Structure 1
């Protein structure tokens, strides 16, 4: 490796490392802020908080890595151009392509590392992250409930005045609001003097045993005028047990869809296997639905005796315009009633199956997106370098001023298009491949354009293309007036 190659590589890597550490720290702070409600006021020791943050770190890398490469490349090549080091290289016969060649190899290696990281480390970290949160609630169930305020725990909002005991599992002054499944507010309130939380590491069910309390439930009368009296039912108990499913509790996340699905916890091989199973399930669902519809819509004879069937067949030798006319009035009424019932039933069946198939298709799409994302992050490293390096050489500005403005603008554009494409493809508006690769497809021409302009020493915007025709037009007008 020549001295120039070592110099460029060292300059870029130092800048990249510095930028990556700073941006990673900023994104970690954002993660802590998003999970502050889950961490604060629950008596977690420093070790548990550190584990929580450590398991959430790998998911930040796909955001930080491309942005760091983009900003580092703009700053590095902007400094070289600003200090006329590029001019010295060009005077020595070294082109821009030759200058960035060793860095291109480094970025290629970094892209491979990024793919391996996304394929192995991130799925493992997601698995550990979700299970760690689940274990916190199972081993120390009192952490899910905060003193003096209502805590959202599954289907219940729970408030306690005081927690005591070794693990805070003994509760005093308990008020519970049970959520309504119909979405019309809470109609059930449970109050108890004290209680105890009981859990097991082997089970995802949290048991809450209440002592000496009352159970209140609003009653909705059938008559509208009786509803103004706000009637309710009340019962007292000495002991009452509530079972809370902690698996529902662990689905609450900043990115709820990714947590509730398993696609983020799978590598490429596992995703391919899962997709094969999902496709088979979808195909079987379609075949089963079509067979059931054919059975439901088939013509059923209302007359079972063979004599009546023979008479009906004789009548059908000369088919009338109105087929119902070959039946009696009673049979016609039965046929029409049955047909209407079948139509209504088939309509409901079609609607329900349509929703079910749409859900299955959305699951398939999200797994495809998770598969393509592992390759997109590798390509994004290349893309951001070949946007940042020529852009820095063109603008000829280093430091954190203008480069960070360009970097943030380009990265926001990349991230917005990426998010937009994924949302559309999840709803089956685009193929998952286009949805995942849309941002890369849109920004690749920009990388090619900037590389071409930087190689040929053309500025970022050639104003002569705009003003030259206008100048020619003015010169012609002046000549005509003279």
Structure 2
């Protein structure tokens, strides 16, 4: 009896897992195919127009498979769980197993264990394989695109690949041959006597192949210049429209051997190291602001106000155009503009930190979705009492949409600092997971949650009535 009982203990989990294999592979292949088809339709025409060899085409689409598989595995888990438990429920096998003394928790346990192992594997994939594939994909994409610098620029990330220049854009949209930018900051260190910072509200970016230059056409522009030999010599020029060129020697933006990586080309460990460095730069910017406030404003007050040895009060001095007062006003305005420029750079660094924190949380939140989808898929499959790919695929699609709305909206909000990166990336897992636990308890109590039979009968009556 003991041997027979022990044999049953292994047979049931094995049977449950075997029921998941087919739907999992079907779901994985289908989802990968749909994602890959979307990439092909999006990029194939452009690649063929550039005369890319067939081998490079296969490499290009092969490198896209990394991120596709990383997203498809959690989705396939949900498809498999809904389909497998839906079929077992519709064939009354769940009822038979319960009657044999097999608790529902024992049916869920082996699937949950495999989901945990899958989550660990997907997390390792996100932090080791995926960054390398993304890096190779970006380099290949840059090589194919040739002389399209906007392909290597990222929103809210400093781009300092070009010697003597540092670029930051807060918004980047490609419209055909036009590249529209918003919130542009260009630090120009090419002049040995002056450091120039160009700040523009919006602009367009093109590329000159003949001159090997990035050409910015900027609107509502401020150019901040400071003399390195005399830091008090600070001036600001304003323009409604300014054409600003940045040299790109030796086609540097092709970057076939570049070691620079974007956030999605790095592991969580690498991004944590980046955050430490950025925080140091933020501390330096804050120290610069503090020094400007303490030293420059104090100097303005002492030199501009008390150096006037007349007995006139401040109002009379301003009215009569007292030179020390006027100089103080001009210098105060200059100091204020310097503080604004420093604050703008500080804000850009803060957004960069938030962006990296979002990517770090995403590398762990998406793998955990494998576990969450088992929790929600198992009770829904059992309660629906209608097996097959149709029900599994339909419910999966519904939860995919809900889940990715949370992820995408959360990422946008977190990048702008409205919510914390943790809440943004984990809210979907928390809500869906809690819903799954609630439904599992209802399934154990055999409560009907999804009356599919009634819905099917109503649909049949509606169809017959129309005929």
**TM surpasses 0.5:** yes
- Matched-pair contact (CA < 8 Å) for 2:304–2:325: no
- Matched-pair contact (CA < 8 Å) for 2:317–2:325: no
- Matched-pair contact (CA < 8 Å) for 1:137–1:246: no
How many angstroms apart in 1 are the aligned matches of 2:293 and 2:115?
56
Q: Secondary structure at the match of 2:290?
A: helix
Residue 182 of structure 1 pairs with residue 172 of structure 2 = no
- Matched-pair contact (CA < 8 Å) for 1:324–1:332: no
Larger radius of gyration between Structure 1 and Structure 2? 1
How many angstroms apart in 1 are the aligned matches of 2:44 and 2:208?
19
Instruction: Spell out the pairing of 1:438-457 with structure 2 (5 A cutoff).
Output: 438-457=427-446
How many angstroms apart in 1 are the aligned matches of 2:303 and 2:335?
19
Residue 324 of structure 1 pairs with residue 314 of structure 2 = yes
Instruction: Spell out the pairing of 1:57-206 with structure 2 (5 A cutoff).
Output: 57-136=65-144, 155-156=206-207, 181-182=217-218
Tell me the residue number matched to 2:333: 344
- Matched-pair contact (CA < 8 Å) for 1:134–1:247: no
C-alpha offsets along residues 3-54 of structure 1, whole Å, 9 cap, x if unaligned? 2211111111221011101111111111112223431222222211110011
Instruction: Spell out the pairing of 1:265-304 with structure 2 (5 A cutoff).
Output: 265-298=265-298, 299-302=301-304
How many angstroms apart in 2 are the aligned matches of 1:396 and 1:246?
62
Tell me the residue number matched to 1:195: none
Instruction: Spell out the pairing of 1:430-441 with structure 2 (5 A cutoff).
Output: 430-441=419-430
Tell me the residue number matched to 1:384: 373
Tell me the residue number matched to 2:20: 12
Tell me the residue number matched to 1:208: none
Q: Secondary structure at the match of 2:386?
A: coil
How many angstroms apart in 1 are the aligned matches of 2:84 and 2:440?
15
Instruction: Spell out the pairing of 1:213-224 with structure 2 (5 A cutoff).
Output: none
Q: Secondary structure at the match of 1:297?
A: helix
1:103/1:331 CA distance change after superposition, 3 Å: same
How many angstroms apart in 2 are the aligned matches of 1:129 and 1:95?
48
Question: How many correspondences in the alignment?
Answer: 360
1:247/1:426 CA distance change after superposition, 3 Å: farther
Give 5+ residue unaligned stretches, structure 1.
140-149, 159-173, 185-241, 251-259, 316-321, 463-482
How many angstroms apart in 2 are the aligned matches of 1:423 and 1:120?
25
RMSD between aligned residues: 3.6
- Matched-pair contact (CA < 8 Å) for 2:305–2:324: no
How many angstroms apart in 2 are the aligned matches of 1:23 and 1:328?
76
Structure 2 length as normaliser, TM-score?
A: 0.69
Equivalent position to 2:359, from 362, 370, 375: 370
Report deviation, 1:268: 2.3
- Matched-pair contact (CA < 8 Å) for 2:79–2:396: yes
How many angstroms apart in 2 are the aligned matches of 1:368 and 1:454?
38
How many angstroms apart in 2 are the aligned matches of 1:60 and 1:395?
29
Tell me the residue number matched to 1:196: none
Report deviation, 1:107: 0.8
Q: Secondary structure at the match of 1:300?
A: helix
Q: Secondary structure at the match of 1:429?
A: coil
C-alpha offsets along residues 177-202 of structure 1, whole Å, 9 cap, x if unaligned? x9661369xxxxxxxxxxxxxxxxxx
Report deviation, 1:334: 2.6
Q: Secondary structure at the match of 1:182?
A: strand
1:340/1:137 CA distance change after superposition, 3 Å: same
Runs of 4+ in 1 over 3 A off after TM superposition: 134-139, 150-154, 242-250, 322-325, 327-332
- Matched-pair contact (CA < 8 Å) for 1:115–1:378: yes
1:119/1:303 CA distance change after superposition, 3 Å: closer
1:157/1:72 CA distance change after superposition, 3 Å: farther
Q: Secondary structure at the match of 1:35?
A: helix
Report deviation, 1:349: 2.6
Residue 30 of structure 1 pairs with residue 38 of structure 2 = yes
- Matched-pair contact (CA < 8 Å) for 1:151–1:157: no
Report deviation, 1:420: 0.8
How many angstroms apart in 2 are the aligned matches of 1:395 and 1:247?
58
